[in-house]
Amino acid sequence: MIAPVLSLEGLNKSYGALQATRDVSLDVVAGEIHALIGPNGAGKTTLVRQIYGSEAPDSGTVRLHGATVNHLSVPQRVRNGIGRSFQISNVLMEFTVLENAMVAEAARRGEAFRFLRPAFTDRGLRDGAMAILARVGIEARGKTRVADLAHGERRLLEFALALAGDPALLLLDEPMAGAGPEETRHMIEIIERLRGEVAILLIEHDMDAVFRLADRVTVLVEGAVIASGTPDAISGDAAVRAAYLGGDDDVEA
């Protein structure tokens, strides 16, 4: 059997008396979109941080392609195939769109630690950067400074940067947060297009988006997994309805 792209086993994390992650185990297999949902404060972002490496679990293992990565730093995990978008778009605000992608391209090629040739006039870097931008369809905005971009475009750029290193696993932390209906539709389209290319762990509050995109859904409440399964199974799960979706509400509404 091929090891899942991401595999968490018995992850625990406490901050003082608050247990943010309780014995979490889950798999993200190649090509799937795995949604992680749960009420505010359920510990979704804390879990993502432990996968990404910016937070160390108290116990438990994080495996990437079957190999333990607990001891690896963020940059090392990125080089091992993790890409991430953040709750608040995390891009180089003072740079242009193309310059953002060029820095990512230099990093991807392992050429960042070079001192002689000018970076931004390099044809090879530029071509690679354009390809990175084309993947989310914002290559036409290359010359725009990021500070002047609309929220949605900034989000797309962040997607492009997260994808630049050809990750095996993409961590998307609330990509629809703050987006209008039009932008949300566009974002769903782009994530849909990535299906099969890269395994995605998607944290999202927009249930509409979750149930349209996810192959599997895991529900986190107070740091613990209370249910995991297909969207249909989850929307019919009584425990999920009680704990998270608030009694009789229709999940798909």
Which residue ranges make up the site for other proteins (CB under 8 A)?
73-75, 78-79, 83-84, 86, 90-95, 99, 102-104, 106-108, 111-121, 161-162, 164-165
| Residue with smaller CB distance to other proteins, 52 or 244 | 52
* Least Cβ distance, residue 101 to other proteins (angstroms): 10
| Residue with smaller CB distance to other proteins, 4 or 165 | 165
| Residue with smaller CB distance to other proteins, 201 or 221 | 201
* Least Cβ distance, residue 19 to other proteins (angstroms): 26
Q: What is each CA distance from 228 to 34, 107, 231, in whole angstroms? A: 10, 36, 9
- Other beta carbons within 10 Å of 240: 21
- Other beta carbons within 10 Å of 194: 19
| 108 closest CA partner among 166, 161, 165, 169 | 165
* Least Cβ distance, residue 158 to other proteins (angstroms): 8
* Least Cβ distance, residue 145 to other proteins (angstroms): 11
| 160 closest CA partner among 137, 184, 132, 183 | 132
* Least Cβ distance, residue 99 to other proteins (angstroms): 8
The rounded distance, in Å, linking the Cα atoms of 118 and 116 is 7
- Quick one: which H or E segment has residue 201? strand 199-203
| Residue with smaller CB distance to other proteins, 16 or 71 | 71
| Residue with smaller CB distance to other proteins, 115 or 123 | 115
Give, in degrees to the nearest 5, the angle at Cα 162 between 64 and 49.
Answer: 55
